[in-house]
Structure formats: structure tokens, C-alpha cells
Structure 1
Amino acid sequence: MTNETANLAEFETEKDAGSGDAGLVKLWLSAIDLASREEESWRKEAETTVKTFRNGDSSRNGAIERQQEFNILYSNIETLTPAIYNSTPIPDVRTRYNSDDPVAREAGDFIERCLSYDLDVDQFDPNMDSAVQDSELVGRAVTRVRYVPYISGDQESGEKLAWEEVPTEHVPWANFRRGPARCWYDVPWIAFELFLTRDQLIELSPQNGGKVNLDYSSVPDAEKQSQDSPPPEIFKRARVWEIWDKERRQVIFIATGYKEAPLRVEEDPLGLTDFFPIPRPLMSIQTSDTLVPIPPYRMYKAQAEELSTITVRINALIKMLKVRGVRDAQINEFDAIADAEDGDLVAMQDATALYAQAGGLEKAIWLMPIDMVQAVLQGLYVQREQVKQVIYEITGISDILRGASDPNETLGAQNIKAQFGSQRIQKKQKEAARYARDLLRIKAELIANKFQPQTLLMMTGIKLPSEQEKQMVQARIQQEQMKAQQTGQPPQIPEEAQELLEKPTFEEVLQLLRSDIQRQYRIDVESDSTIRADLARSQENMSMFLQGTAQYIQATAPAVQANIISKKAAVVIYSSFARNYKLGKSAEDALATLEEEAAKVEGQPDPAQQAQQQAQQAEQQKMQFEMQKMQQQAALDKQSKEMDMQMKREEHELQMQKMQADMAFREQELAFKERELAMKERSSLLDASIHQRTAEINAQATEHKARIGMETIEHKAKMARQPKEDA
């Protein structure tokens, strides 16, 4: 399918998908289906190729005959993959253009040490081996980089970041999809096929994880099982697509068993410059018109099948190479003769009659001829070797075989063979080195942007001063300089303090690491394999330059000593000679400085006159120093007087403030006494009032008691009269 057709189909799908979450799910599932159909033929071919490599494809000749075939694919893959990738890359992080940039140099040291530690603990080599094998077997390999933070603690005690890492992960070739494009940098999206359990679904989406239908089973041939005996729940998984949308910089998780809404949508979780967590895939065969991979086995599949056919025929003919024949039935001793050991003689009963009738024992035995079978076998062996050579020429293994050296050969012969033997696979080696380098760059970008400062310090062990420490050292140095000016002695500055000031601060390095643009401009992340050719050329160029310099000095030194050539002319000629080697800007600056120094040497005055001028300059400098000392002393005296006046003014102000405070205290004390007298007067009045009220209450009580007594007496008298009246 062409890109235009794919884009048109995707546009029509987007138009008909609808709106909302359900429409988004339908849109992406349609896009993934289109991407799958674009590479459907390649996937079928890749699956067949893998079966052939595993010697498990029994569809053509049967399982028994398949084991007797010549598996040249397995042999080629096992020969090529170690030749393409055979050692862990060594990170090489340096300042770009080799410029003198202390901050960038320290930042590069941080990244290089982090990458070195990460390669030791990461499964980088197995993932690279799998990638190279996939590239040579099916035509495309994908490896992703993850950022994994480890959180310790809980919500009650508080969560904190305990550790973080950036591991690599090999992506199976069958579980990767991409958007329509002709070159990798135009790919709009990529997708990874995941198979998640119920717990993983709930962790991914607490709201919708329990609603997803587990539509995939890890049990082989689960789709052939009846409805009455479905696979157990433990073997069931949900097919989930992890989609990285480069245009919107979003990561969308969509399950095929739940089409109501996406399981999760994340906004640019890694913050990478190129967004995708993978480098450009490792592809063995590439063309500029499509990104559909091509299995390299396709290029020699016909020859491989011919080789297998020849091997099957050889095996069949070998079975025919048996000593078979007929014998005279009258020879009863034939079985004993056949089973006899070396040197044994078997007695024969009717030997005379046999010789008389048949004319000898050899006339009584006839063996089936095998000369024709042997001749055919020899021809098949020759043909198989020729087919193998054709396959080796197609794959480039012939160059590896020709490059194999003999330990008895000279070093020059071995170097020539090594160079010739690697010519055909240099492109594959370079592409594998590029792939490893790109993985390191993604790791470096995640380390620079995601890792916390304490993680960087723990992983690298680099000690840099902080901004506060540097300011404290600078203040201390300024104090030493002021003290030296007062005493007239040179300042005593420790070497450790001077070295600390020359180092960049950790805040400056961290700021550079966090800035994507500045980091890319000033730091270059490579591996030893990607810079090996440049280093070899630079070393060869430097060796030639040093040899030429030695020869030039040896030739021109006598002429300069004899005043035949001036020093300036010799230096100018040498500079012109050296600039042909492209030594870099720093060397160019050094050459320019050398020319200026040579010009100054030629223009120097008479030594006696120069000594007199130096003495005068020393005297003037001494006088200037004395004047500066006097001026500094006068300034110090003036400053001392001003400080004394200031201290007296401050003392007077303190005394005035003390007097004012004393007066205020006395006023407050008088006011307190007045308030105390007033309170005593009010207390006396209150006591008198209480006494008078108490007397009034007592009088009222006495009067009340008297009235009650009178009423009681009257009541008793009344009660005493009442019976008499009743009688």
C-alpha cells in the first residue's frame, strides 16, 4: 500500500469514526489495522523465515525430512550476528568541537559516568544481540528505552524517590506498528502491542481496567478449544495498544476488548526531543520508497531451497550405499563367513563340488553395483559446495571467510586480510554502531532531564562546589587581598581555594543538563565504535604532523643559527606547513601566538639598554607602590576617623535613648501609684457600703423575727380560745 492510499484511508476513517472517546478508540484501531495490512505480507514471510531458522517448518517436506536438510539460514545468522555486534559499546561524551568549555566538560563527564554505570547494570548486550538477530532474520529490529523511578514509603509516612534508571527493552518484531511514511523522520505515530493481566489493567486504568474483556490467551491453540472448556483465567490476557502520537505528543493506551474509551492518556511522559522512546529501527535492507522491511533470506531463498534439496538427495543416496546381493543357496557356511572376524577361516563341506559346478566361490556370489550411486553422490557434493559459495557471495560471508587469517602469516598479511574481510559487512557494522549510539543518546537525554541531583551525584561520584560555597571562597579571598593591601605583603591564597574557583558550580552543570538546546549544542554523545574511524584518522594525521615537524626543525635549525634564515621567517614557514594538517582552532591560535612571539624577539632592543629600562621601570613601579601605600594609609586613617565619629554619634544617641527610657519609666511608675491609691479609695468605699448594707439587712431580719413571734403568740392564743367557744 502506498503512503498516499494509506493517508487517504486514514482520513476517511477519521471522518467516519465519530466524536468522543469511543470515536477516538475506533479511529486508532482503524489506523493500526491499516498499518497491519500494509506490512501483512512481510509478517507472513517473516514468520516463515523464523520457522526455517528454528528448523521447525514441516509444511514442505515433513518433520523427519526437514531435520535432514541443510539449514544454511541458521548458519548464516550465527556467522553474521557476532561479526556485526560483538562487544558492549563504551560511551564517549565530550565537548562538541573540542572547545574549552569547563561547564560542558563537567556535564559530559556526568553523562558519561551515568551511561557507563547504566551499561553495567542494564541488559544492553542481550537486547543488542536480539536486535541484530531480528535485523538479519526478519529485516527490522526495534528497541525501546524506558524511564523507571523507584518510589519508597507510603502515603502516610510520605513517598520519596529511592532510585531511578533507564533500561532498554527489546520489542518483538510482531508487536510493533508504525504510521504511514516513506522515511522514518516522517512517521506520525508508533504503537507497541501489549498483553496485560487484570491486575496490570487495573494499575494502568483504575476506572476502566476492570471492564476490559480478556480477549487473548497465552495457551497454544486456545482459539481451537471448545466453548465448554475455555482456557483458565490465569492464562488470559488483554490485548492493549500503547500508541505514541508524535503530532499531539501524547501516549494513548487502547484495549481491543474495551471500545468505550481509552484506558489512559498521558501527555509526553518522557519529554524527549524526538518524542519516540526508540531510535530509528535497525533494518538490514532499506530502500528510499518504503519502510516495509525485507527479510535478507528472501535474497537467497531459492539457493537455500536448492541446497536443502541437494542435501535431501544426498541423504537418500547414502541410504542406497549398502553391500547387497545374492548368493548360492547351497552354501550353508555363508552366514558363518559373514560373521567371521579378521583372520578366521571357516570350514566348507562341499567346496570341491562348488568349484566344479560354479567355477569358484566368487562365481556363487553377486553384489549389487554402487558405482553409479557413488558417481552421482560426488556430483551432488560438488554442486552443494557451489550453491554454498553462491549463498556466501550474496550474504557477504565469503569476505569473512577470505578474511580469516593464518597464525603463521605476517602482521601485514593479517591486516590486509582483516581489512578486506570486513569490507562487505562494514555497512552493517556501521548501522549497528549507529543504532547503539542512538540508544545511548536517548538514555543520556533521559538522564539529563529526569534524574534528580542526588541520583547524579551518587552514580558519578563527582564533587563540584555549590554556588554558595564558591561565594564564600570568593569572600575569603577578597578579605585576604584587603589584608595584604594593609600589610603590604602578597595575599595568602590556598591552592585548594584557587582550584575550587576554577571549577564550575553544580548549579551551572545542572542547568546545562536540563537545557535540551544548550546540551545538544555543547555536548556530543558518541560510542567508541562510532568515533573509531575519526580517531584513527586523527592519530594518523597527528603522527604525520609530528614526523614532518621533526624533519623541518632538523633541516632549518642550522640555517637559523647561521643567520641565513630569520626566526620569524622560519616560524612563518612552519605555520604555513602546519596549517595543511587541519589541527583545529586551538592549534591555529597557538601558531598565531608563536608568530607574534617570533616578531617580538626580532624587534628586541640592546640588552644593556633593555636592562636600564627595566631598572627604571622597577624604580617607577616602586615609587608607584609607595604612593599607593601612602594613599591607602591616608584612606585608612580617614576611614578610621570617620568610624570613630560614627561610634561617638551612636554612643550619644544611645545615651539619649536611655534617658528617654528612664523618664518614660518614671512616668509609668507615678501613674501606677496613682492607680493604686484610687483602687484603695474605691476599696474603702466599697467596704463601708458593704457594712451599711449588712446592718440594714440585720435590722430587717430582727424586725422580721419580732413580727413572726407576735404572729405566733396570737395564733396560739386563738387556738386556745377555739375549744372553749366550740363547747
Structure 2
Amino acid sequence: MQDDEQTDAPKASRPWLEAISEAEKAFNVWQEKSDNIAKLYAALTDMADFKGDREFKIFWANMEILRPSVYQRAPSPVVMPRHTDTGEVPRKAAELLERVLEYDVEADDLHETLLSARDDMCLAARGVVWVLDDGHAIHVDRHDFVHEPGRKWSEVGWVARRAYLTLEQGTKRFGDEFRRSKREEVGNKREDDYKSSEKKAEAWEIWSRTEGKVVWVTEGVDEVLDEQEPLFDVKSFFPCPKPAYATLEPGTLKPVPDFVYYKDQVDEINELTARISDLAESLRLKGFYAAGTSEIGEAIEAAMRQTDNKAILVPVSNFAAMGGQSLKDSIVWLPVTEVAQVIQSCIELRKQLIEDVYEITGLSDIMRGVTEAQETLGAQNLKAQYGSVRVREKQSEMVRLALDVLRIKAEIYAEKYQIGELLAMSGMQMPTQQQAQQIVAQAQAQQQPPPQIVTVEMVQQLLVNQRLRPFALEVETDSTIAPNEEAEKESRIEFLTAVGGFIQQAGPVIEARPEAAQFMGELLRFGVGAFRAGRDMGAAVDDFVKKLEQAGQGQDQPSPEAQAEMQKMQIEAQKAQADNQIKSQELALKEKELQLRAQEMQSKRAEAQQVAQTRQYDAQVNAAVKRYELSLKMQEMGLKVDQQQLEREKAEIQALLDMEELELEKEQKRAVALGDTT
């Protein structure tokens, strides 16, 4: 009797609260780092202060590129039978559950929840989603989620979520003890535990996998508020899937934010930005002039204040005070060229640091929308592929998180919801067992084969069976990344080409050998299963295969005459194929012969060009020699004859030069013509 009283005694909440406190201490460094990173990413108060330090917002820019690259669109649930030959009941159950999940994704606003988890993962390297007992998924802030420390997720024994309840909500859920403890708490010191204008108190919801219990505790109450069996039974026990992680400290589940890997570069970039700003402020035209010449200084300032584009003259009455010096010699200006050079150097250094950040983060220029006009399509595709490789693990984490959430939702809907609610959510109609019996009776009365009917009871029996349902149904999701339209088109064209080619080849085979229909149908299922579109058309493909098999079974064996005709056709087809191969070989030989002829012609053309160039060079040398000889003659004649005779000789020599030029041009044309003929 004493043992029973001890068993029924309420459990103390202090061990759980201490365990939560220890777990929070284990993640304290990460929380502090994440708080600082969040402030750096978006702190409205600091950014609204115009007197604050000037910074280069590269971290914000990187996040704006990374976030949509990791997760951009809501997941599309896909539920299908795990095996294609399990019958109509799993197919109908899969269709029902898929429609329910499609409705749930939109009604529950799952996309917004996953966006919040994505932002947490990109900023702090961990994003958490929690599924409530009614199937509603919520995002849990990193400060409100804690779990038992471990090396891997499978070693975690409990997880806890901090919930905020008003006094009325807590009293309704846990009784008057909650109200009394929280009133004392508010009256004493803990005003900061209450959020917004409607004051709310903290309560921890703990799911212990080791004990198989759900426990509620809160500060100020020595006993647990509630302890019960889980309201739903999911595969992983926890109502939250494994968080979406970015980088983890080896051997632990402590996240490491990406920003810490390039924080030093960002600090240097901000320091250079501030330095550039300060130097730019000093780029003002300032100078010095000798004391006692104030009139000159006033004239200079008056001239600099003028904004008119027209020429302005400023009078100086006592110009003699300049001591006979020019204006430029009487004023010494501060050097601004050196400052501008320092600014340019700082800008170049900052540019290099920005490139270093992009190298560390893996944000390629293609992802940032930066490219060069001379880049080829292959180079751009290579850069895009490189960028996607660096973020692919984060993308996979978000896909896995979305898939785990959908699987938990599917288990909750299958186990907790009535079949009538599921049919209403999905918009499907199914006959009951009684209606199915009436349909079968009508078919028998009309002497028709009874149809295969899937009833509501059959589907419900499969959905509520926790042991058989995972073996019969498979829940998947498509990619949560925005699809590439061109890639999607190519994939569908490839699918249609493959299926069309198979049908063309399978048709004659089934016509000749009807018993091969079943084998060809299985080949079609096997080939279609490799395509994403094949999963969407799984039911249609199965129906086609069944009709194909029925058509093959309904055909009689061909007559001997038909068999002989088919053999003759096969022989002719083989002969035509052999002829095509011979023709292909002949075409290949002719193509090689033409290539050899083309190479020979190119060689001859190169030789002819070389000969023409040689002849042209010889003609140019001969013409130069003749010009030199004529110039010598002109010099000799200038010593012997008078000016008139010299002029006549020059005219004759010029005539000779003109004739030589004509001969040279003719010689060049003949050489060119000879080269072309060759």
C-alpha cells in the first residue's frame, strides 16, 4: 500500500528545471554569438542612428542571396504506395492522404513556418519546427527550444519547448496552482517573463523519449504541472523533427553560424569603409596665404563662393601687397591628390576583401546576378553549378526538414482524424461497405463481372494500422527550391521521348507475342520510375499496363500463316537494317575521302601563296635596286650639266620610274594570277 502511495505521489519539477538550465548553459556561447549576429543583420535602432559608424552591409547582402537559394517555395507533398503491385487500397489511401497534406500545407501556412526556420538556419545555423497534436506546425525560436546535449540527434533523450500562456490559459490547462504561483511571481520580480501587453508566463513542454512521457513544468511550482502519454505516436517520438542544421561543432549538436568564419573580413571591410568615409570628408580645397594680406584672402574666398558659370573677376585694390609675386606663388594649397590616392588604395583593398568573403561563403557571381558579356554559356553554367554545390547541403537540410514535418503530419492525420474528416478535406468520395455490396449485386444481376471496389472501411483500416501503414505508404516531397524551367522542360521531353520510343518498340512485340504483354508492362513501370514525372503519372501508367495485359491475354495465338508473315517481316526488317549499316559505312568512307581532298587542296593553295609572295618580294627588290641606280645617275649628271639639263634629266628619270612602277605592278598581278591558277 505504501508503494502505491509513493507511485501515485506527484513528481517534483526541480529535476526537469535543472536539466533545462544545464542544457541552456551548454548552448550559452552559441546563443550569445547568435544574438550579436542577429543585431548585425538587422537592428533598426542602430541603423536609424545617423551618427553611427558607417558600414558596408555585406552580411545583409549575403543573407538576401543565401536565403532564397536555400528555400524559396512551399513543399508539394507526394504520397504513393511503396510498391506498385500492392493493389488499389494503398493507391486510394495514398491519394487521400496526399490531398489532405496538400490542403494542410496551404491552410496551415507551412511555407511561412519553414521560412522562419530557414532564416534561423542561415543566421544561427539551426532552425526548429514543432508539430502540435492537432497537426498544426509552428516555428520555435532558438531561445525557446532546448534539448538534451548529445553527439548526434539519435542520442537525444528529451526535447523541450517554452510556451507562453496567459493566467487564464494556464489555469484552464493546469489548475489554480498555476494561477497562484504566477500571481506571486508577477507581484514580486518576474515582470520580464510576460510578453506583449497581454501578460504571459512561461511553461516548458518536455517530451522524454527515455520515459515515453510528456511533462509540463514551470518556475515557481514545485510539482510537475502535468504528465501524460503522448497524444500521438510518431516514428521518432518527438513532435519536432531533427532541426535543420548548417555547421555543427564536431562531436556535438552545437551549431556554428556561418558568419563566424568570415567575421574578420567583414570587420576589416567595415573599418576600411569608415576610413574611406573619413578621408572623403577631408577632400576639401584649403590653402594658406601670408599674414598681412587679408585683402587677398577675402578676394579668394569671394571668388570661390561664386556659383555663376560666367567668368568672374574679383578686384584687389592693394595688389602690390603680394610683393610682385603671382597669385599661385602667394598661396600654398593643402595636398588633396595624396588623399585621393589613399582613398583609391583603400577601395581596391576593400574590393579584394569582398572577393575573399565571396570565396569563403561560396556565393558565386552568377548567384549574385553578376556576369560578363564575353563569358560563354558553359562558363556561366559551371559557376552556377559551383555556387549550388556550396549551398546544396543547406538546401538538403530544408528539404529534409519539410519532409519530416509532412511525415509527422501524415501520421497525425492518419491516426487521430476520422475518415469522414479526411474525405471532406480531400474532396474525395468513396463507397461504404454496404454500398459496395449493392454495386456488386447489381453487376451479378446483369451477368457482368463484379468490379474491384475500394471502400471507406478498407482505407480507414490501412490508415489506422500503425504497423502496416509505413510498409504500404511512402510520404515524399518535391524540391523546395524554385525549379529551373528549362531543366523541367528538358526532363519532360526526355520522359515523353523515352515512353514514346518504348511504346513504339513494345507494340509490335505484344502484337506478335501476346504473352509478352505482362513483361513489357513491367519494363514500362521500371523505366517510368526513374523519372520525376513518372511518379505523378503512376496511377495512369498502372492503368495502362493493366489494359495492355488484358489486351494481350484477350488475343488468340496467331495462325501459322500469320506467323510466317511475321517471320518474313522480321527477315525483311533485319535485311533493311543490314543495308542501312552498309550505307552508313559507305557514307563514312566518302566523308573521309572528301576530308583528304580538302586537306590536299589546302596544301596546294598554301604553296601557291608562298610562290606568289616570293615573286612579289623579288620584284620589290629589283625595283629598289633600279631606283638606287637611277639616283646615282642623277647625282653624276648634276655634277656635269647645268640646271636646265638637270631638270630634263630628272623628267626623264621620273618617266623611267613611272614605267618601272607600271612594270612592277604588272609583275605583281601576274604573280598573283599565277598563284590563284595553281
TM over 0.5: yes
Q: TM-score, normalised by structure 1?
A: 0.64
Q: CA contact under 8 A between 2:74 and 2:480: conserved in structure 1?
A: no
Q: CA contact under 8 A between 1:216 and 1:236: conserved in structure 2?
A: no
Aligned-partner SS, 1:114: helix
- Paired with 1:464 and 1:170, the residues of 2 have a C-alpha distance of 36
CA 1:373 to 1:168, structure 2 compared with 1: closer, same or farther past 3 Å? same
The Cα of 1:416 is off from its aligned counterpart by 5.1
User: What residue in structure 1 maps to residue 109 of structure 2?
Assistant: 123
- Paired with 1:90 and 1:434, the residues of 2 have a C-alpha distance of 13
Aligned-partner SS, 1:193: strand
Q: CA contact under 8 A between 2:77 and 2:102: conserved in structure 1?
A: yes
CA 1:479 to 1:98, structure 2 compared with 1: closer, same or farther past 3 Å? closer
Q: Deviations over 1:331-390 (max 9, x none)?
A: 2433321221221423404265256x2422223332211222212111111111111111
1:194 to 150, 163, 171: 163
The Cα of 1:235 is off from its aligned counterpart by 6.5
Which structure exhibits the higher relative contact order, with contacts defined as CA atoms closer than 8 Å and separated by 6 or more residues?
A: 2
State whether structure 2 residue 414 is matched by structure 1 residue 448. yes
The Cα of 1:429 is off from its aligned counterpart by 1.2
The Cα of 1:123 is off from its aligned counterpart by 2.6
CA 1:553 to 1:351, structure 2 compared with 1: closer, same or farther past 3 Å? farther
What are the within-5 Å matches in structure 2 for residues 392-471 of structure 1? 392-398=358-364, 400-401=366-367, 418-471=384-437
State whether structure 2 residue 259 is matched by structure 1 residue 297. yes
Q: CA contact under 8 A between 1:35 and 1:180: conserved in structure 2?
A: yes
- Paired with 2:303 and 2:288, the residues of 1 have a C-alpha distance of 15
- Paired with 1:146 and 1:433, the residues of 2 have a C-alpha distance of 20
State whether structure 2 residue 33 is matched by structure 1 residue 45. yes
- Paired with 2:10 and 2:211, the residues of 1 have a C-alpha distance of 18
Could you tell me which amino acid in structure 2 is paired with residue 273 of structure 1? K
- Paired with 1:580 and 1:471, the residues of 2 have a C-alpha distance of 32
The Cα of 1:427 is off from its aligned counterpart by 1.9
The Cα of 1:284 is off from its aligned counterpart by 0.8
Could you tell me which amino acid in structure 1 is paired with residue 270 of structure 2? S
The Cα of 1:71 is off from its aligned counterpart by 3.1
Q: CA contact under 8 A between 1:145 and 1:278: conserved in structure 2?
A: yes
State whether structure 2 residue 137 is matched by structure 1 residue 168. yes
Aligned-partner SS, 2:294: coil
CA 1:404 to 1:279, structure 2 compared with 1: closer, same or farther past 3 Å? farther
User: What residue in structure 1 maps to residue 201 of structure 2?
Assistant: 238
Q: Deviations over 1:285-333 (max 9, x none)?
A: 1355111111111111111111122112112212211112224412243
CA 1:233 to 1:477, structure 2 compared with 1: closer, same or farther past 3 Å? closer
Aligned-partner SS, 1:516: coil
The Cα of 1:553 is off from its aligned counterpart by 9.2
State whether structure 2 residue 281 is matched by structure 1 residue 281. no
Q: CA contact under 8 A between 1:140 and 1:283: conserved in structure 2?
A: yes
1:511 to 458, 461, 476: 461
What are the within-5 Å matches in structure 2 for residues 538-577 of structure 1? 542=495, 545=498
User: What residue in structure 1 maps to residue 234 of structure 2?
Assistant: 272
The Cα of 1:408 is off from its aligned counterpart by 10
2:452 to 496, 502, 506: 502
Could you tell me which amino acid in structure 2 is paired with residue 293 of structure 1? P
1:247 to 204, 210, 229: 210
1:342 to 309, 318, 328: 309
- Paired with 1:550 and 1:110, the residues of 2 have a C-alpha distance of 31
- Paired with 2:117 and 2:214, the residues of 1 have a C-alpha distance of 24
The Cα of 1:20 is off from its aligned counterpart by 8.1
- Paired with 2:80 and 2:312, the residues of 1 have a C-alpha distance of 86
- Paired with 1:113 and 1:553, the residues of 2 have a C-alpha distance of 34
State whether structure 2 residue 86 is matched by structure 1 residue 136. no
- Paired with 1:219 and 1:435, the residues of 2 have a C-alpha distance of 42
Q: CA contact under 8 A between 2:209 and 2:237: conserved in structure 1?
A: yes
Q: CA contact under 8 A between 1:137 and 1:297: conserved in structure 2?
A: yes
Q: CA contact under 8 A between 2:67 and 2:119: conserved in structure 1?
A: yes
Percent of aligned pairs with the same residue? 29
Could you tell me which amino acid in structure 2 is paired with residue 69 of structure 1? E
Deviates most, 340-349 or 541-550: 541-550
User: What residue in structure 2 maps to residue 87 of structure 1?
Assistant: 73
CA 1:301 to 1:506, structure 2 compared with 1: closer, same or farther past 3 Å? same
User: What residue in structure 2 maps to residue 617 of structure 1?
Assistant: none
The Cα of 1:169 is off from its aligned counterpart by 0.8
CA 1:235 to 1:422, structure 2 compared with 1: closer, same or farther past 3 Å? same
The Cα of 1:407 is off from its aligned counterpart by 9.6
- Paired with 2:468 and 2:373, the residues of 1 have a C-alpha distance of 51
Total equivalences in the alignment: 536
Aligned-partner SS, 1:241: strand
State whether structure 2 residue 295 is matched by structure 1 residue 330. yes
Could you tell me which amino acid in structure 2 is paired with residue 210 of structure 1? R
1:179 to 138, 144, 148: 148
Runs (5+) with no aligned partner, structure 2:
1-5, 531-540, 564-678
- Paired with 1:404 and 1:212, the residues of 2 have a C-alpha distance of 59
The Cα of 1:268 is off from its aligned counterpart by 0.6
CA 1:146 to 1:535, structure 2 compared with 1: closer, same or farther past 3 Å? farther
2:16 to 28, 41, 44: 28
Q: CA contact under 8 A between 1:358 and 1:364: conserved in structure 2?
A: no
What are the within-5 Å matches in structure 2 for residues 218-229 of structure 1? none
User: What residue in structure 1 maps to residue 632 of structure 2?
Assistant: none
Q: CA contact under 8 A between 1:307 and 1:388: conserved in structure 2?
A: yes
CA 1:432 to 1:400, structure 2 compared with 1: closer, same or farther past 3 Å? farther
User: What residue in structure 2 maps to residue 315 of structure 1?
Assistant: 277
- Paired with 2:339 and 2:67, the residues of 1 have a C-alpha distance of 39
State whether structure 2 residue 75 is matched by structure 1 residue 75. no
The Cα of 1:147 is off from its aligned counterpart by 3.3
1:528 to 468, 471, 478: 478
Could you tell me which amino acid in structure 1 is paired with residue 300 of structure 2? F
Q: CA contact under 8 A between 2:431 and 2:454: conserved in structure 1?
A: yes
CA 1:122 to 1:406, structure 2 compared with 1: closer, same or farther past 3 Å? farther
The Cα of 1:172 is off from its aligned counterpart by 0.5
Q: CA contact under 8 A between 2:161 and 2:205: conserved in structure 1?
A: yes
Aligned-partner SS, 2:25: helix
The Cα of 1:248 is off from its aligned counterpart by 2.4
Q: CA contact under 8 A between 1:92 and 1:526: conserved in structure 2?
A: yes
State whether structure 2 residue 112 is matched by structure 1 residue 145. no
Q: CA contact under 8 A between 1:333 and 1:346: conserved in structure 2?
A: no
Q: Deviations over 1:199-227 (max 9, x none)?
A: 1220121242223235877999967xxxx
- Paired with 1:188 and 1:542, the residues of 2 have a C-alpha distance of 46
- Paired with 1:373 and 1:518, the residues of 2 have a C-alpha distance of 77
Q: TM-score, normalised by structure 2?
A: 0.68
